[in-house]
A and B are shown apart, each in its own frame.
Chain A
């Protein structure tokens, strides 16, 4: 079975803190993705990566950065957390190819106070 794990299920941070969200997949997937999910807005793509050390901006990259030093690990970084970054963050991974399924992690619910 494909397994995508995220480092925390729940996280509470203060405004201005630096926040790291970690994602690990064990299926040797080339692609990895970070989304945020907000009520009524659906999932929105923040950043994605097609290969190690490679990253591409998604639809809402502002206020975020990412790191992919190893194929199995994709990190999302909030350099200076703000209250409007309170959200559910979902990581996903897949093989290359338009028909390949994206497999999601369980999500990290982040609250920024």
Chain B
């Protein structure tokens, strides 16, 4: 079964600290993996995309990694800001399914001052 599991479900950190969110997937055949950020009351916005051959991708203070052998990805947030408070969703695309996506349940991050 094609699944995407994320951990932790929720996380609280202090402003300025770093954190790492995890994503494990069983989606096959794999095409690409994205991390989306979803602010409360808004739709998700794409942060990064990685294909099979890429193992790291950065977008400002966000750095995503991908290990296609172990089917794991992580999203590292450096020097967190209050505006980073959001849900972060790991999304995997199958190689034989056009633009069909499998979504993880998300990690809800709260950054406190």
Mark A residues whose CB is within 8 Å of B.
4, 9, 31, 40-45, 48, 50, 90, 92, 94, 96-107
Contact = CB atoms under 8 A, between A and B. Distances in A.
A96 B43 contact: no
B89 interface: yes
A105 B41 CA distance: 10
B37 to A, nearest CB: 11
Interface of B: 4, 31-32, 34, 41-46, 49, 51, 89, 93, 95, 98-101, 103-106
A90 B36 CA distance: 14
Given A92-B43, A106-B41, A98 B105 contact: no
Contact of B42 (A50, A94, A106): A106
Contacts, number: 56
A102 B105 contact: no
A104 B99 contact: no
A40 B34 CA distance: 19
B75 to A, nearest CB: 16
Nearest to B94: A98
B41 A42 contact: no
Given A94-B99, A107-B42, A107-B43, A99 B32 contact: yes
A42 B31 contact: no
A44 B99 CA distance: 14
B46 A105 contact: no
